[in-house]
Amino acid sequence: MKTTTILTAALLAATSATAQEVRVYNWSDYIDESLLEKFEAETGLKLIYDVFDSNELLETKMLAGSSGYDIVVPTGTFLQRQIQAGAFQKLDDSQLPNKDNLWDVIQERTEKYDPDNAYSINYMWGTTGIGVNSGKVAEVLGEDAPIDSLALVFDPANMEKLADCGVYFLDAPTEMIPAALAYLGEDPDAQDAETIAKAEPVLSAVKPYVRKYHSSEYINALANGEICVAFGWSGDILQARDRAVEADNGVEILYHAPVEGALMWFDQMAIPVDAPNPEGAHAFLNFIMDAENMAAASNYVYYANGNKASQEFLAEDVIGDPAIYPDEETLQNLYTQTPYGPKVQRTVTRMWTKVKSGT
C-alpha cells in the first residue's frame, strides 16, 4: 500500500512537472540568454532550452516524430516540407495577442513557405554572404579586393591567394549552390537538375582553397583571426565582428551581402503536432513576440527580426546597420528560395558530396 502511494505521488509529480515545462529547440548562439530567465520569472513555467546547428538535424527529429519539443525553429524552406509532412500544429491566434506586432514586409515573404502564416511566426531573418577579416584580405588581395562580390569566393584566382590565410564555407548545399548560380548569373532559385549542375564546376574549382566546410565554427575562427574569409550567415559573421571587438585583438570583421544577389532566409518558430505542452508553447511565442523582448534578442545576436513593434527598441548599431536591416536597394537584390523536391534534393546532396570529396 505504502509503495503504491509513493508510486502514485511520484507519477503525479512527473506529470505535473511536464505540464509546467516548455521545451524549446533553437539554433546555437541565437538568443539573449537573460530572456530565458525572464520568461521563467514571468510565466512560472520551467524552460528547457536546447540548441542545434543544422536544419537537417532538426528535420530528422521532426520526421521521426515525438521529438518532445514544444517549439522548434526551422528555416522557411525546411518548414514548408515539414508542414507538408504534417509535423506542425496550427497556431491558436487567441493565445497570441502580440501577433499584431509582426512586420507585414516579412509576413508577405514567409507566406511562400507557410501559407497564411498559419503554422509559424518569424523569429529572425537574415542574408547569406561574405565575412572578411578586412586587414588580412587587404594584405593578400590589396585594398580594392572585391569583398562585397561573389568573385571573392568563387574566382579561383582570388581564392588561391586567400587559401593560406584561411577560407570557410557553410556546409550547406542549399546555401552554396544558389550562391554559385547567382555568381554565374543564373537563376539562384533554379529547380531543374540541368541548371543546378552548372554550380558544380564553380564550387569544385575553389574547393582546393577552402579550409573547411562547416556551419558554425567560422564564428570563432573569424573572431580570433584564424581565417580571413567565411561564406556564412549575416548574424553569425556580425557576432564574430562583435567578439573580435570585445577581445580587442586587432581583428576587424566586415559583412557584405554580395552585390550579385544574396539569399534571404527566415527562421520560423513553430509548434510540433505532438508538442507535450502546446499552451506553454503559445505562451513562449507570445513572450518572444513582445516588442521589447524581441528587440533584446536582436540586439544580442545581430539578426533582423520580423517584428515591426520591436524596431523602436533596437540598438542603433542593429537597426542602423545596412548589413542587418538592408536598405531598400539591397532588399530588392535579395532572393528567396523554394525548397527542393526529393529528387532534386538528392542531386543536390550528391553534388555537394562530389564537390567536397571529389567522388
Partner 1 sequence: MNLSRRLLIGIPYLWLLVLFLIPFLIVLKISLSDYDISIPPYSPKFDLSAGWEGIKDYLGSLDFENYAFLADDPLYYTAYLSSLKIAAISTFLTLLVGFPIAYGMASAPEEWRPSLMMLVILPFWTSFLIRVYAWMGILSNEGLLNQFLIWTGLISDPLVILNTITAVYIGIVYTYLPFMILPIYATLEKLDGSLLEAAEDLGCTRISAFWLVTLPLAKPGIIAGCFLVFIPALGEFVIPSLLGGSDTLMIGKVLWEEFFSNRDWTVASAVAIILLLILVVPIILFQRNEQKQREAAK
**Alpha helix positions (H), 44-172:** 55-64, 76-84, 104-110, 134-141, 151-154, 156-162
C-alpha dist (Å) from residue 72 to 8, 23, 61, 125, 169? 32, 9, 10, 15, 25
Count of residues touching partner 1 (by CB under 8 A): 34
250 binds partner 1 (CB under 8 A): no
| Rg for the chain, CA atoms, rounded | 22
Beta-bridge partner residues of 46: 21
Site membership for partner 1, residue 357 (CB under 8 A): yes
Give the one residue of 87, 181, 264, 283 binding partner 1; rule: CB under 8 A: 87
Beta strands in 92-225 (DSSP E): 120-133, 167-169, 212-213
Cell matching residue 135: 586587414
- Quick note: the x/- pattern for partner 1 over 46-85, rule CB under 8 A, is --------x-xx-xx-xxxx---------------x--xx
Whole-number minimum distance, CB 41 to partner 1, in Å? 33
CA angle 27, 315, 318 (to 5 degrees): 55
* Shortest Cβ 61–partner 1 spacing (Å): 10
Per CB under 8 A, which of residues 165..184 are in contact with partner 1? 171, 173
Phi, psi (degrees; rounded to nearest 5) at 143: -65, -30
Q: Which is nearer to partner 1, 86 or 320 (CB)?
A: 86
With the CA atoms of 69, 70, 73 and 76 taken in that order, what torsion angle do they form, in degrees rounded to the nearest 10? Answer: 110
Judged by CB under 8 A, does residue 338 bind partner 1? no
Backbone φ/ψ region at 304: left (φ over 0), alpha (ψ -120 to 50), beta: beta
Residues 351 and 207: beta-carbon distance below 8 Å: no
Q: Which of 280, 321, 285, 275 is nearest to 306 (CA)?
A: 285
CB of 18 or CB of 220, closer to partner 1: 220
Q: Which residues, in sequence order, are bridge partners of residue 148?
A: none
String of contacts with partner 1 for each residue 201-230, x by CB under 8 A: ------x--xxxx------------x----
Contact between 346 and partner 1 per CB under 8 A: yes
Contacting partner 1 (CB under 8 A), which of 12, 50, 86, 118? 86
DSSP code of 94?
G
Determine, following the binding rule CB under 8 A, whether residue 191 of this chain makes contact with partner 1: no
Per CB under 8 A, which region of 100-108, 155-163, 184-192, 338-346 contacts partner 1? Answer: 338-346
Q: Which of 28, 95, 195, 349 binds partner 1 (CB under 8 A)?
A: 349
Of 88 and 103, which CB lies nearer to partner 1 in the complex structure? 88
245 binds partner 1 (CB under 8 A): no
Binding site for partner 1 (CB under 8 A): 54, 56-57, 59-60, 62-65, 81, 84-87, 171, 173, 207, 210-213, 226, 342, 345-346, 349-350, 352-354, 356-359
